[in-house]
Chains A and B, each alone.
Chain A
């Protein structure tokens, strides 16, 4: 920063009173105060470098090195082995399915709360609950779903008893792709509700009325008015949900142990016991994860700024 702000000038001018003839000294004082100004954010940057940037950078660089520290791209070629590729593919499927499902259902719930002409208490209740449920992830969530849809879970038992449906003979398992997706939806839907409600609030009532006056139906309204306005927000939020699911470890680990090979679980096993038998391959695996979550978050930020521009 070249020009010190008002407060700093007031403080420094006191000692360098004798005016323009002491130009260099004033400049020195100003430079000193600028240094002091920067000192105020030093702890934050020190912390960010030590506990966020450096650890990540270390892995990112390690991904391009062999065990002796020489530059190599071999790690990325080695990533193309069957277990790793399969892990990325299952991770991608679970994240995409839970993001798409979470976005669609979250949008539906938010729509019902904002525009469904429901009693007034519904909306604040939904928002509060979403705040809780979007944070209710990890090990306890896995337990809750085992109690619900596990082999002796409540829903499984009730379905068998009253509707004579044996859930587990249909090939469903809480430890599988569909079970994991269903579990992830529990924090994905509320997150979508929280993100998309402000966007729905941005839809003006007059647009709907104008559409009605022109003889448009609900279909016309959504097809030609609401969705064209909403799509950047909705797509952006979907990308955010995708990244959210891709990085999650605890829920999947508590639910399936290591029976379902998704990337975070492979990485977890690699950190614990070097299951890939190559440290630097682990770094490459981590780099892949950061790339995926980074790209989808980048997409979210870009689409959100687009949506904000459109609203102006």
Chain B
């Protein structure tokens, strides 16, 4: 091929890539623009933030949003306490078990959430040995466990990859030589070293949980997802304002993962 032909082919490649990017950007940005535009159309003839004001002042919004944040935080705490010690222990003492654990943590991606919660409703109903749906508090616990299950793949993967990047065995032996007990090793040696993994798992969990609909709705808890759905079915402008709020939260969670992830990389250099 002559140099001229190569240059022509490269120019064509670049043009094609630009077209793909621009069409892609249009597809991804148009719904966001349309939603923002729609959310500001509440007052006739002029753009305003009325829909946002109404939504933010709605006590049900505040209650459901607060409830979902609380459930998210609980799911993060339970998830971290469950995943970090397990991943650490497997890395240190039971490496043969790793494929089994990995397989189990991937199952929530295979089994749809609606199937899992269907099982909960059958197993933990008020006539069972463990009647977790009999009172509101108990159902909250079940909801948190459901969220932990839902986010297990994300949490385990981010913690595990952070754990593999540090020399767990040397750290443990060093801590043992200095007379540290297991709680000290776990909370003061291992946790700080996998902080980046815990944080990215936590933000992913938060992004998933905050607008989650299926589990909360079927367990009949007043979370943000079911509230969104209810407003969507009954109002015109408020849903778009809520969609923008939800998008900003997702964006913030993902942005924070980037911040903490790259901050960690810089610190290591």
Task: Show the binding face of A for B, using Cβ within 8 Å.
Answer: 1, 5, 7-8, 37-38, 40-41, 43-44, 47-48, 50-59, 62, 105, 108-109, 111-113, 115-118, 122, 126, 128-129, 131-133, 135-136, 138-148, 153-155, 185-186, 189, 212-213, 215, 217-218, 243, 246-250, 253-254, 257, 264, 267-268, 271-272, 282, 286, 289-290, 293-294, 297
Contact = CB atoms under 8 A, between A and B. Distances in A.
Given A52-B108, A154-B33, A246-B112, A41 B92 contact: no
B264 to A, nearest CB: 17
Given A249-B213, A253-B213, A55 B239 contact: no
B178 interface: no
A265 to B, nearest CB: 9
B214 A139 contact: no
B66 interface: no
A185 B31 CA distance: 12
Query: Which of A51, A133, A185, A247 is the most central at the interface, judged by chain B CB atoms within 10 Å of its CB?
Result: A51
Contacts of A116: 13-14, 16-18, 20-21
Given A58-B122, A212-B1, A243-B110, A144 B35 contact: yes
Contacts of B21: 109, 112-113, 116, 118, 122, 126
Given A254-B232, A271-B218, A117 B10 contact: yes
A4 B121 CA distance: 41
A147 B244 CA distance: 11
Interface stretch (B54-62, B93-101, B187-195): B93-101
16 contacts: A1-B94, A53-B104, A113-B17, A116-B18, A128-B258, A136-B246, A138-B211, A139-B229, A139-B232, A142-B232, A144-B32, A148-B35, A153-B38, A218-B13, A253-B213, A268-B214
A186 B110 contact: no
Contacts of B243: 139-141, 143-144, 147
Contact of A148 (B34, B101, B149): B34
A298 B121 CA distance: 27
Contacts of B212: 138, 250
B180 interface: no
B30 A148 contact: yes
Given A7-B173, A143-B240, A293-B110, A55 B116 contact: yes
Contacts of A140: 211, 228, 242-243, 246-247
Given A7-B172, A290-B115, A37 B94 contact: yes
A148 B31 contact: yes
Contacts, number: 256
A220 to B, nearest CB: 11
A139 B211 contact: yes
Given A41-B90, A56-B115, 10 more contacts: A38-B94, A47-B145, A55-B120, A56-B116, A118-B21, A140-B246, A144-B240, A254-B228, A268-B218, A289-B112
The secondary structure that dominates the A interface is helix
A113 B208 CA distance: 27
Interface of B: 1, 6, 9-10, 13-14, 16-18, 20-21, 24, 27-28, 30-35, 37-39, 82-83, 85-86, 89-90, 92-94, 96-97, 101, 104, 106-123, 145-146, 148-149, 152, 169, 172-173, 176, 204, 207-208, 211-214, 218, 225, 228-229, 232-233, 239-240, 242-243, 246-247, 250-251, 253-255, 257-258
The secondary structure that dominates the B interface is helix
A13 to B, nearest CB: 14
Nearest to B142: A51
Nearest to B97: A41
Contacts of B94: 1, 37-38, 40-41
Nearest to B156: A44
Contact of A147 (B35, B109, B253): B35
A261 to B, nearest CB: 15
B213 A293 contact: no
A240 B131 CA distance: 35
B181 to A, nearest CB: 12
Contacts of A189: 24, 27
| Closest 6 A/B residue pairs (Cβ) | A116-B17, A55-B119, A247-B112, A154-B34, A112-B17, A250-B213
Nearest to A142: B232
A147 B118 contact: no
B9 A58 contact: no
Nearest to B253: A135
Contacts of A215: 1
Given A40-B85, A44-B82, A218-B9, A145 B108 contact: no
B89 A41 contact: yes
A185 B9 CA distance: 30
A118 B247 contact: no
A52 B111 contact: yes
